[in-house]
Structure 1
């Protein structure tokens, strides 16, 4: 089980370390453990408690009242907020707790209720994608283990696949063609998979080639499909090359296609991109690009 410093708790909950220390002393809210060398640390139960406290506090409940709650009362209050709140920030906290507890039933309820209220696309853009970004931070700080990350990724992937399966298939034959793929060795496909949904919902024709695609296989598919646009996401470094080298290789291999790239290795990295390569900083940038190049009116 992961261990956290008080700075980790601050970073993950948004509550200042100074405030957490005051709550420890005044309300005995959490009790730090100590290593054999007398270094203070907190465990996953402490993280979950602080996330709960943060959510309740953001919804107007005083810390003095929270400190008096039993664990059962605390859980009941959290469920009540997540069931009734229309605030996406509250829902992100609730999903985080679902991940920590591996609670699939609760996850399904939150996603399904938001989809009914807001529609699938808005739920993804305002709830699920920010939640995945938070998971990324927690992963980098060892706040979650691989099982928890895989659990959530699998559930989100299921939701996107169901939404894609429900899309209309009678696409205009004159619509622009997109080919979506990830570099060889790249496995993080949720953003690319949702991009598939976004493009199809705006009338684009999509070939989805998925994870870890060797460059020779990409060349073969490109020759057959002849897409106007290639889209890829570089979360990690491409196999056997730098991001710049990989992008230049794509540019040279496919000079007649416009190549759209995104991901941590691209966005904010100040890369010098070839003329036929465009960086997408966000999914909103992708939506704008697709709508500007669409042959149909956005529904």
Structure 2
């Protein structure tokens, strides 16, 4: 039986797949702390709602931050993080995120490395939400949870890779089919050399395409010098550089200095550098021409 058959309710095995909690732990938190109160099917099987799963995930997050389970349950109940309703798609999601049915289904399919089902759920969510809310309410929360599961060793490399790659390919498909005016300003997005994580750039470029820009992406792990060559050839209005880790700077200590000089030499182009790794590495550094930011509003100025 699938979550679709249950009309937004989930069996305990599905909840276990989504949350990374064992069925034993879920039942223990229910019975000992009265955290959730699942309904029962005629055969006695527990079924859980979106609210139940969000409570379980919130307690798991808080306990991972050092709180006892008892205290995590108290905080969760006091916060009333989900109450009686799931927020509308346009609401921003902060961690611990309030997740929706599409994210739960993606986590379930990702746990089983089911590429086709992941793609189908993404397709359904995209048509249901529209691009803007699809990115903020489905893609970002899903990828955050995938990353959390990877860092906590709840998912193996294959589970993480399948979920990330199917999501990336789906975003690429949207970008390729997106219509823009021929006279639209061009933005080039580029991962730095040695950087493997390109999905944040796909998301950002799609958001910028909604603002009327034409975009081009230099994907993961570009060859040294390829970014500069492409920029000189295309003459874009803006260049977005991305590094989610500090690996590009660790591997090539002169990389940032060269790129900043390149930006100085091309003052007619606005250069931006973002990503967690970039922000960490440049924290105490002064750049002459590259703007360091993780804000799309800065890029749009």
Q: TM-score range by the shorter chain?
A: 0.5 to 0.7
Equivalent residue, structure 1, for 2:99: 89
The 1:122/1:90 distance shift into structure 2, 3 A limit, reads closer
List gaps (5 residues or longer) in structure 2. Answer: 1-11, 54-84, 88-97
Equivalent residue, structure 1, for 2:176: 165
Tell me the distance in 2 between the aligned counterparts of 1:51 and 1:199: 45
- 8 A contact 2:180–2:214 mirrored in 1: no
The 1:70/1:147 distance shift into structure 2, 3 A limit, reads farther
CA deviation after TM superposition for structure 1 residue 276, in Å: 1.9
Superposed, 1:1-299 pairs within 5 Å as 47-49=20-22, 53=26, 63=36, 65=38, 73-74=45-46, 77=48, 89-91=99-101, 92-104=103-115, 106-172=117-183, 175-239=184-248, 241=250, 245-255=254-264, 256=267, 257-267=269-279, 270-281=283-294, 285-286=295-296, 288-292=297-301
- 8 A contact 2:187–2:240 mirrored in 1: yes
CA deviation after TM superposition for structure 1 residue 69, in Å: 7.4
The 1:289/1:64 distance shift into structure 2, 3 A limit, reads closer
Equivalent residue, structure 1, for 2:61: none
More relative contact order, 1 or 2 (CA 8 Å, 6+ apart): 1
List gaps (5 residues or longer) in structure 1. Answer: 1-28, 30-42, 293-299
Tell me the distance in 2 between the aligned counterparts of 1:278 and 1:238: 20
Using structure 1 for the length normalisation, give the TM-score. 0.65
Using structure 2 for the length normalisation, give the TM-score. 0.64
Tell me the distance in 2 between the aligned counterparts of 1:260 and 1:51: 48
Tell me the distance in 1 between the aligned counterparts of 2:217 and 2:204: 10
Tell me the distance in 1 between the aligned counterparts of 2:179 and 2:273: 26
Tell me the distance in 2 between the aligned counterparts of 1:150 and 1:263: 20
**CA-based RMSD:** 4.0
Tell me the distance in 2 between the aligned counterparts of 1:51 and 1:251: 54
**Bigger CA drift: 139-148 or 201-210?**
201-210
Paired residues in the alignment total: 238
- 8 A contact 1:202–1:290 mirrored in 2: no
- CA deviation map 1:197-253 (0-9, x unaligned): 222232223232212112322222122112232212112224464787433321112
- 8 A contact 2:272–2:292 mirrored in 1: yes
The 1:69/1:146 distance shift into structure 2, 3 A limit, reads farther
Tell me the distance in 2 between the aligned counterparts of 1:134 and 1:248: 34
CA deviation after TM superposition for structure 1 residue 132, in Å: 1.0
CA deviation after TM superposition for structure 1 residue 262, in Å: 1.4
Tell me the distance in 2 between the aligned counterparts of 1:46 and 1:125: 20
